[in-house]
Structure 1
Amino acid sequence: MIKIGLTGWGDHPSIYRTNSSKREKLYDYSSHFPIVEVDTSFYAIPSTTNIEKWVRETPEQFQFIVKAYQGITGHLRDENPFESRSEMFEAFRQCAKSFQSANKLAMILVQFPPWFDCTTKNVQYIRYIKQQFADFPVAIEFRNQTWYSKERKQETLDFLNENEFIHSVCDEPQAGVGSIPFVPIPTSNKTLVRIHGRNVFGWRNSGSTENWREVRFLYDYNDEELYDLASNMKKLEQQCDEVYVLFNNNSGHHAAKNAKTLQEILDLDFEGLSPKQLDLFEGEF
């Protein structure tokens, strides 16, 4: 089974009703897609109150991919608001349990930074994450090419498989050691595919300009590229039970459009979505 969604639900104007309020964006989103990445949890662990609200606003079959907090993945540059590592992990576990208890947790996504390379120390830290999140499905995403070097690629995949991690397969710019190749190989019964675009310039110049966030994921996939991605999604579907596809190329609001096109190419009809409440003069998406 292939499920398609986007990273976040708050910045995709083409899928909202014209009269929708900010509070209704998740409802509108869930009338189009069956999954979403909670990317705000990377910056701050959401409260139980917010999670319960998101759960109520989405259909029974809707699922959330919850991105791990930046203090867990090594991205945090400011002072850690938690007094200890154990307190931080416990706070995130409680967050994940809130989704899990509602049967809406697809997985936790642990995305490591470009400087998290393939070393014994980092392998041990991933084992530690496995211990801390033993009760949850966990996807691992690397951003450093050393994990997929000729010498380490198979070892990396074997390691993920042995520890029952979900492999986060990435389509992203090939821009040196701070990017990874497209490796559509599952390591569990689920596979996560995150589609970041192919903007090499934006990827390489991340952080060098004030508007780098607007440039980094600025990319519009053409039909040929989407047909190629669709072919790979079908192959993955033959090798595992569930394939979760997330479009993250939204700097120019291309993610929703590309996701819809991929859905059409794959001839997918998602069931159990929120009913579309169209405005009087509004056409279909």
Structure 2
Amino acid sequence: MIHVGTCGFCEAREKYFKDFDAVEVQQTFYKVLQEKTLERWRKKAPEEFTFSIKAFQGVTHPSNSPTWRRSNVKPSKNVGLLRPTNEVLHYWRITLKEAKVLGARFILIQLPRSFKEGEESFENAEKFFNAIDRGDFEIGVELRGWSEKGVKRFVREFDVIDVTDPLLRIPLHKGSVNYYRLHGKYEGGKIIYNHSYSDEELKKIRERVLGWNVEESFVFFNNTSMCRDAKRFKLILDLH
């Protein structure tokens, strides 16, 4: 089973709930949301609709990250990078509560490039995952700039889903669910979000997602043409 959606609602929510069967909520990364907002989304969504939420940036991103400019929270120097500080653990509890209110299935932890591959990061992650309550949620982690060896060690040690781009590499965890994020194209180690996927690229994504056979796959588009490309991808899936 392949579920298709976008990173954030790419169109009016009522229409989105008809066009797609899953969404990765982005607002929870930038801001702490009101419960009534999340309750309203859950109420309007079809019963079988899948929500994934992106963990608040206080868990993942240090205070010098430009992403904080869009936040409704002022960061301290102790936020981010899975450091087991009181602030990081506090923001994880907020994310966990939001996920419960929304009835989410997944929590995505998207780590910045400043979360470097190395023992310090592994030590922080070990303390973080030992300290937190995971609830009943499946946790996906997107590591940027890491080697395949480092990613494989991370997802196995901490029992998380390896979130990746199917055009880049095969998922390195072992489980019944794969979780993909499609940001656009890559040039010189940088992501070019301003990209529209060609039919050939979408067919290759389909081939790889189906080829890495698991019970379920979630494919979330996160490029500037994400709404259009996600709908085109659904058509390509339906044609085969």
> TM-score, normalising length from structure 2?
0.83
Asked if the contact 2:59–2:89 (Cα under 8 Å) also holds between the matched residues in 1, the reply is no
Aligned equivalents of 1:170, 1:106: Cα separation in 2 = 20
Residue 167 of structure 1 and its aligned partner are, at CA, apart by: 1.1
2:154 equivalent among 136, 147, 159 = 159
One-letter amino acid of the counterpart of residue 230, structure 2: A
Where does residue 94 of structure 2 map in the other structure? Answer: 91
Cross-structure match for 1:56? 43
Aligned to 2:176: 189
Q: Secondary structure at 1:114's aligned position in 2?
A: coil
Task: Give me the CA root mean square deviation.
Answer: 2.5
Q: Within 5 Å, which residues of 2 pair with 1:113-128?
A: 113-128=112-127
Q: Give secondary structure in 2 for the equivalent of 1:37.
A: strand
Q: Any residues of structure 2 matched to 1:59-78 within 5 Å, and which? A: 59-77=46-64
Letter in 1 for 2:108: L
In the other structure, the counterpart of 2:83 is none
8 A contact 2:143–2:151 mirrored in 1: no
Task: Write the deviation string for residues 223-245 of structure 1: whole angstroms up to 9, x where unpaired.
Answer: 11111111001012x1x221110
Q: Distance in 1 between matches of 2:181 and 2:40?
A: 26
**Larger RCO (CA under 8 A, 6+ residues apart):** 1
Give the alignment's TM-score, normalised by structure 1. 0.70
Percent of pairs with identical residues:
25
The structural deviation recorded for 1:87 is 2.4
Q: In the alignment, does 2:221 pair up with 1:247?
A: yes
Aligned to 1:177: none
- The DSSP-based 3-state class of the residue aligned with 1:264 is helix
Aligned-residue offset at 1:266: 1.6
Aligned residue number for residue 71 of structure 2 = none
Q: Is the 8 A contact 2:42 2:102 kept in 1?
A: yes
Residue number in structure 2 paired with 1:210? none
- Contact kept, 8 Å, 1:184 with 1:232, in 2: the verdict is no
1:159-178 correspondence runs (5 A): 159-170=154-165
Q: CA 1:52 to 1:200, structure 2 compared with 1: closer, same or farther past 3 Å?
A: same
**Which AA in structure 1 matches 2:144?**
R
Q: CA deviation at 1:41?
A: 0.7
Rounded to whole Å, the distance in 2 between the matches of 1:267 and 1:118 is 39
Q: How many residues align?
A: 222
- SS of 1:90's equivalent in the other structure is helix
Which ranges in structure 2 are unaligned for 5 or more consecutive residues? 69-73, 80-85
Describe the superposition over 1:166-217 as per-residue Cα deviations: whole angstroms up to 9, x where unpaired: 1101258xxxxxxxx433444322111000111537x74x8xxxxxxxxx41
SS in 1 for 2:165: strand
Q: What residue in structure 2 maps to residue 264 of structure 1?
A: 235
* CA spacing shift, 1:161–1:189, aligned 2, 3 Å: farther
CA separation of 1:157 and 1:171: change in aligned 2, threshold 3 A: same
Equivalent residues of 1:165, 1:187 under 8 A apart: no
CA distance in 1, matches of 2:110, 2:134: 17
Paired residues of 2:24 and 2:52 also in contact (CA < 8 A): yes
Q: Which runs of 5+ in 1 are unaligned?
A: 13-24, 173-180, 207-215, 270-285
Give the number of the structure whose alpha-carbon radius of gyration is greater.
1
Equivalence map 1:226-245=2 (5 Å): 226-236=202-212, 238=213, 240-245=214-219
